[in-house]
Amino acid sequence: MNVRSLVLGTLVALVALPAAAQNAVGKWNASVDTPNGPFAMVFEFLVDAAGKLTGSMSNDFMGSTPIKDGMLNGNDLSFKLTFEGGPNGPMTISYTGTVNGDEVALVSKFEGAPPGGGPAEQTLTATRAK
């Protein structure tokens, strides 16, 4: 392998990570169906150069909750939300998903029993806020 190819490959890799990270950065609107009707939420994603995903989820009912343990690897992301003060103590939901243009396909999984006997896992789609 010559030096020119090595330098070109390194430059392409350095440019690709920030481009993928920028694809996830921003505000995303989502909603899940509940027995009490739709539950709207807004995710705000921030990503550093190492692929660490931070930000928050907010809605009118619960306020803002910080994202924990977030990672972005290419277009795949994962993070957790922990809600204090649930009926049985803190409640954690893990999310995994894939960014595809102006949509993020997400799967949420309750760690432990979901409140009210709801589903332990749900799929949802978040769309980029305009």
Segment 66-108, tens digit of pLDDT: 999 999 999 999 999 998 876 777 889 999 999 999 999 999 9
With a cut of 50, say whether residue 13 has pLDDT above it.
no
Mean pLDDT, rounded, for 20-45: 85
Counted domains in the chain? 1
Top-confidence residue, 17 or 86: 86
Its domain, for residue 57, covers 3-128
Residue 104 CA from chain centroid, whole number: 8
Helix, strand, coil shares of the chain, percent, nearest 5, are 20, 60, 20
Give CA torsion, residues 22, 24, 28, 33, to 10 deg: 170
Residue 13 neighbours by CB under 8 Å, 6+ apart: none
> What CATH code is carried by the domain that includes residue 37?
2.40.128.30
Structure confidence at residue 14 (pLDDT): 41
Q: Which of 105, 86, 91 is nearest to 24 (CA)?
A: 105
- pTM of this structure: 0.78
With a cut of 70, say whether residue 48 has pLDDT above it.
yes
